[in-house]
Structure 1
Amino acid sequence: MATAVLGISAYYHDSAAALLLDGQLLAAAQEERFSRIKNDAAFPTRAVDFCLAAAGLQPEDLTAVVFYDKPLVKFERLLSTTLATAPAGFGFFRAAMPTWIREKLWIPGKLRKAVPGAGEYLFSSHHLSHAAAAFYPSPFERAAILTVDGVGEWSTCSYGTGRQGVVSLDEELRFPHSLGLLYSAFTAYLGFRVNEGEYKVMGLAPYGRPRFAEVILDKLMQQKGDGSFTLDMRYFGFLSRLCMTNERFHQLFGGPPRLPDAELEERHLDIAASIQLATEELMLGLVRQVHAKTGESRLCLAGGVALNSVANGRLLREGPFKEIWIQPAAGDAGAALGAAYLGHLASGGEVSADTGRDSMRGALLGPEFSALEIEEALTGSGLKWSLLEESALLEKTAAALAAGRIGGWFQGRMEFGPRALGSRSILADARVANMQHRLNMKIKFREGFRPFAPAVLAERAGEYFDLAGQSPYMLLVCPVAENQRIENVEVEGLARLKQVRSQIPAVTHVDNSARVQTVDGERNPLFYALLKHFEAITGCPMLVNTSFNVKDEPIVCNPEDALRCFVKTDIDFLAIGNYWVEKV
């Protein structure tokens, strides 16, 4: 009998839904794309509706609905922590209670009400959901699995194996000892928003010197021989207060937390560099232990910390595993996918590894829109537009990009996960020296220090980057090849931003690295064809690829979102479906 299983994550951050039909991944999307609320934590009603519509199903057609963790076990953690830190923890408990009383304690009933008539309603555990999302869509028949995040129910890190279609977790690190929460504490201390600003810390790190790394590793924790650690909770506030750090932490790192709009000082740059290096070293320690204990040659990664692409690059280059596969939606959104896989197996289904190729479909799992829907959005928009043949659209787009123009690229199914991979993208020429500044200031309206990623033809990536294998999901940072670099007189801090460091300066970070997306003709044939057209004109096989959105907004989902973003930014043109759009 055919199985249809819906996985759901919700109520913490980045809620999502994912649907498997007979064990095949059919659709997945984050609620934020529909609600237009960044990292929306609400129940993913619109994402659920999309997944069902994509499969042509009604709720009663579902074999199972699976929630990605166990809410009552989380509630137990909240109660236990409050009692352990009493009376200091009661303020935190009081602040948390309204959402628990209103929503989180009643998730079983919410599932039945929101998705009525399904065959059964199941609950996975948080890190098991991450592990399933890491292993089952991977190209490996067997592998070690490592999941690292802030916290699930109690687990903050776990490892195990995937073998013969079965995921098992063997050991865990438990709350409050958490690499994800450690990184988030520094994110908050540096004036960025937790669960969103971690990317900014990673991007800021190369501007500083890691002079506080030993302080982090020696003072804030006790490391153990098995790669695990315990945090010294005297420096943190998140057990009993509504803040991540405390005065003892602030004294250790030279002052109070940075205000969100305050100027970045040298100390801030150095702290970012230090927590990034400490995170990399801790991840390397964990990975080496996982390799030693499992004996596997391949590794699957998931959990929010697995989105740290700089650390991932080091794991691939310096770690003991021959191959690494990282779930593209490594955070809680992807846990909905893991929950769906576990529900499929619980319903008697099987998952077979497609060795050599993952089953994520290029992460292009979201909505797509017809020419009629696009034209309806264009009509009355006040924009100048025309319908082209696909070949003409590719030629015109490539020529415009080669001329230094910046383009919106809205094609096919929306990406699942935090990265734009060539379906909801803003594109530009990586060879233009001031392109990073233009994109940050005039298009994205975000901090000027933040880098951009290259999307490069997979077969030519080795000419430009020291990258072993492929990186189709933009989750690996690697060095720019030596023969592409330009020598500079070294300067310090944010002054490094103004230096041209390579032949592809718009995608070369100040440490001569790049977060690479390799593009092949199977995962995204249209985007691949565009890169080939650009290569034919310029000889360069890559483009700047950044997400089609502005600061503090989700990636665009539908044609109306794309047109709004196009109009209120300095994007020069928009290629949406086969329509070419310009401002009047």
Structure 2
Amino acid sequence: MLILGFSCHYHNSAAALVSDGEIVAAVEEERLSRLKNDPSFPARAISTCLETANSTMDDVDLVAFYEKPHRKLARVLSTAIRTYPAGREHFTEVLTKWGRESFWSPGEMRDQLLALSPSRGTRARWNRRFVFVPHHLSHAASAYYPSPFTDAAVLVTDGVGEFSTTTIGEGSPETGLRLLSELRFPHSLGLVYSGFTHFLGFQVNEGEYKVMGLAPYGEPRFRDTITDAVVRPHGDGSFAVNESLFTYHVDRRMYDMAAMERLFGPRRAPGAELTQVHADIAASIQLVTEEMLLRLAERARRETGRAKLVLAGGVALNCVANGRILREGPFDDVWVPPAPGDAGGAVGAALQAWHGHAGGAARAPRRPGADGMSGTRLGPRYSTRDVRAALADHELGHVVLPPQDITATVARLLADGKIVGWFHGRLEFGPRALGGRSILADPRSPEMQRILNLRVKRRESFRPFAAAVPRDRAREWFQLEGRPGSLLGAPGAGYDSPYMTLVAPVHPARAFELADPVRRLGGLDVARNEIPSCTHVDGTSRVQTVTPEDDWLFHELLVEFEKITSVPVLLNTSFNRRGEPIVCSPDDAVECFLDTDIDYLCMEDTISWKTPAAELHG
């Protein structure tokens, strides 16, 4: 049975295709439309998934949408009634937008799907083949069904679904996937974090990463202010948001500006200079978020009795908090899907439709510790002919090499301090580049972090970068280990983190003695250890573990780099510029390469350069 799942109408639309319970394709609409966080109906993504599976809409047996639009409307109406008359202006605006974009979405989505069908079948046919999966159930399914675990507790935390903002559930062969308890709007940890993102001058639904990256530069001196006046924790792990301060349920403002500025000082204007106060605010909301997620994890363990945990929802993109849950929480294992946000809801909706609506069998057996995400390589693949055409269109000089020479040559370039665009195989699904569409650099250079941020990524200089390492070498470089009952990392053997969803301290054996650790803004170009360009100011790194089974070529590149440098680690960041999605096609890659200070471009079996002086010889 072929099931199509998709998400849209909020942000970062996506589509996914599941065949007999296995994920065969998934891609975000933004990668194809080239519009960052594209929320529109994912026509391109759906078509691409079908092409990847050599199928058409006429082959699809069931379509699943990642939420229930009418249940969301019920939340909007009930909130407006509860807050009347204060919220009437906001209610009118939201309801008008809903009527224009979302209230009619079930029928409109069917029509758009019909437009993608070669036979242009009847709409009645699709009425029998269309299911709406509750938002948090889609998130939960995206985490539990592809996870390496037979049974697990499930914790979903995001802004808001229909009514839910936080959900605890469990999955097992005996019970299936079920949700057990919830917190409801407006009490939302995700929306509070987004509110502070806005207060710090960053874009909501895009700048939350920046708050997380800014936090280590500060001291959490506003922590008590936040837990007293903004979001108050309860003893059972739940929490309550101060509805008079955070007003996203009443009007377009996320918070009462005057009240927030009395608590935290003036709001930072977008693009304004970052100060220590801003770093301290970021550190404070990050710490509160980590503490509340740890309490929620403890509650999930009490409610379910399960030893494994899977996380989903947009808050699960907070890899610093995820790392703390693994190290300090009550679970033997923690697993986060590569796309825990709304894009991943497309995968979850399709999987839930298979297991909950189509009567699909339990998932196929996997080798111990393996998951069902195919290393995230679920997007389109481009041929060497596509690569050659893109290079010819831009008249780029290049050489064609066999795989073993590709890895040896690129490793040498990286060891010489060059920045390389790396484009191989199918496009990754999710917000992280994992060796399919990556920019790679030498982690040993303390200057490389600043060079990449300013001259390639063109983003704020304080932003950190991730580290890619062979899994069997990770324990030598990072404090990322499992517990005695762990499936994903026995003690002393290193822990599996294939999707950059966990932050861990760099191993103390790799650290240098520093008289001044320099955690203030502007201190990232200090050589704290042997891999400074992918070490943050607090001595941590976002870690990607790589195995030959996941990506043979990328793993071989890490091996070749170690032969030259004795360091089996590479700096890995997404292949894009600020404000743009990760590159998808060879044309996208060439355009980014030519418009930045990337030195070489490696696409499939070719290595390219911009000037004759950079031409490879020998």
What are structure 2's unaligned runs of at least 5 residues?
115-120, 482-494, 612-618
**Contact 2:15 / 2:28 at 8 angstroms: preserved in 1?**
yes
SS in 2 for 1:158: strand
- Aligned position for 1:348: 359
| 1:431 partnered with 2:444 | yes
Q: Report the CA distance between 1:380 and its aligned residue.
A: 2.6
State the match for 2:558 in structure 1. Answer: 531
1:10 aligned onto 2:8: yes
The separation in 2 between residues aligned to 1:455 and 1:492, in whole angstroms, is 23
Q: Work out whether 1:458 is the aligned partner of 2:471.
A: yes
Cα root mean square deviation, aligned: 1.3
Please give the residue correspondences for 1:469-484 in structure 2 after superposition, counting only pairs within 5 Å: 469-484=495-510
Does the 8 Å CA contact 1:111/1:121 hold for their aligned counterparts? no
Deviates more, 1:383-392 or 1:31-40: 383-392
In 2, Cα distance between equivalents of 1:185 and 1:228: 19
Q: How does 1:104-123 map to 2 (within 5 A)?
A: 104-116=102-114, 117=121, 120-123=129-132
* Deviation at residue 74 of structure 1 after TM alignment: 0.8
User: In the alignment, which of 129, 137, 158 is matched to residue 149 of structure 1?
Assistant: 158
What CA distance in whole angstroms lies between the structure 2 residues aligned with 1:143 and 1:507? 32
Choose the corresponding residue for 2:61, options 53, 60, 63: 63
Q: Could you say which residue in structure 2 is the equivalent of 1:407? A: 420
Structure 1 runs of 4+ off > 6 angstroms? none
Q: Give 2:395's aligned amino acid.
A: G
**Aligned-partner Cα distance in 1 for 2:597–2:543:** 25
Q: Does 1:131 align with 2:117?
A: no
User: Compared with structure 1, are the counterparts of its residues 498 and 577 closer, same or farther at alpha carbon in structure 2 (3 Å cutoff)?
Assistant: closer
Give, in angstroms, the shift of residue 491 of structure 1. 4.0
| Amino acid corresponding to residue 100 of structure 2 in structure 1 | R
3-state SS in 2 of match to 1:253: helix
Tell me the secondary structure at the aligned position of residue 512 of structure 2: coil
Match in the other structure for 2:72? 74
More deviation in 245-254 or 395-404?
A: 245-254
Deviations 1:65-119 (A, max 9, x none): 0000001111111122222222332332333344322221122222322223556
2: CA distance between counterparts of 1:436 and 1:490? 17
Deviation at 1:378, TM superposition (A): 1.2
Q: Deviations over 1:142-170 (max 9, x none)?
A: 11111000000000000111010710000
Report how far residue 140 of structure 1 moved: 0.6
Aligned residue for 1:351, secondary structure, equals: coil
- Cα 1:268–1:288 change in 2 (3 A) is same
Residue 487 (structure 1) shift = 2.3
Q: Is the 8 Å Cα contact of residues 235 and 248 (structure 1) preserved in structure 2?
A: no
Specify the SS of the correspondent of 1:356: coil
Letter in 1 for 2:154: I
Q: How does 1:200-239 map to 2 (within 5 A)?
A: 200-239=210-249
Greater alpha carbon shift after TM alignment, 162-171 vs 343-352: 343-352
Q: How far apart, in 2, do the equivalents of 1:224 and 1:453 lie? A: 34
Letter in 2 for 1:351: A
Aligned length: 582
What amino acid does structure 2 have at the position aligned with 1:425? S
1:142-541 to 2 correspondence within 5 Å? 142-164=151-173, 166-345=176-355, 346-352=357-363, 354=366, 355-468=368-481, 469-488=495-514, 489-491=516-518, 493-541=520-568
Moved more, 566-575 or 50-59: 50-59
- Aligned mates of 1:373, 1:508 — CA distance in 2: 36
| Residues 530/492 of structure 1: CA separation in 2 closer, same or farther (3 Å cut) | closer
Q: Give 1:24's aligned residue.
A: 22
Matched residue type, 1:536: K
Amino acid at match of 2:361: E
Measure the CA separation in 2 of the matches of 1:131 and 1:266.
38
User: Does structure 2 conserve the Cα–Cα contact (< 8 Å) formed by 1:449 and 1:497?
Assistant: yes
SS at match of 2:141: helix
Task: Give the TM-score taking structure 2 as reference length.
Answer: 0.92
Provide the rounded CA distance (Å) in 1 between the counterparts of 2:232 and 2:424. Answer: 49
Answer whether contact 1:63 1:347 (CA < 8 A) is retained.
Answer: no
The TM-score normalised by the length of structure 1 is 0.98
Amino acid at match of 1:162: G
Aligned letter for 2:565? Answer: T
Give secondary structure in 1 for the equivalent of 2:155: strand
In structure 1, the partner of 2:577 is: 550
What's the offset of the Cα at 1:242?
1.4
* TM superposition shift of 1:343: 1.2
Identity %: 50
Task: Determine the C-alpha separation between the residues in 1 that align with 2:354 and 2:597.
Answer: 46
1-side partners of 2:95 and 2:388: how far apart? 47
Q: Aligned equivalents of 2:393 and 2:518: distance in 1?
A: 51
- Partners of 2:558 and 2:545 lie apart in 1 by 11
Question: Mean alpha-carbon deviation: is it higher for 96-105 or for 472-481?
Answer: 96-105
Please report how far the alpha carbon of residue 61 of structure 1 lies from its aligned counterpart in structure 2 after TM superposition: 1.2
**Deviations 1:447-491 (Å, cap 9, x if unpaired)?**
000000000111111111100111110010011111111122144
C-alpha displacement at 1:256, in angstroms?
A: 2.9
Q: Which of the numbers 545, 557, 569 marks the counterpart of 2:596?
A: 569
The whole-number CA distance in structure 2 between the counterparts of 1:266 and 1:140 is 43
Instruction: Say which SS state the counterpart of residue 521 (structure 2) adopts.
Output: helix
Residue type at the aligned position of 1:198? E
Instruction: Name the CA distance, whole Å, in 1 between partners of 2:96 and 2:457.
Output: 35
Structure 2 residue identity aligned to 1:270: D
- Structure 1: which amino acid aligns with 2:305? G
Give the Cα–Cα distance (whole angstroms) in 2 for the partners of residues 113 and 56 of structure 1. Answer: 22
Whichever residue aligns with residue 229 of structure 1, its letter is F
Aligned to 1:52: 50
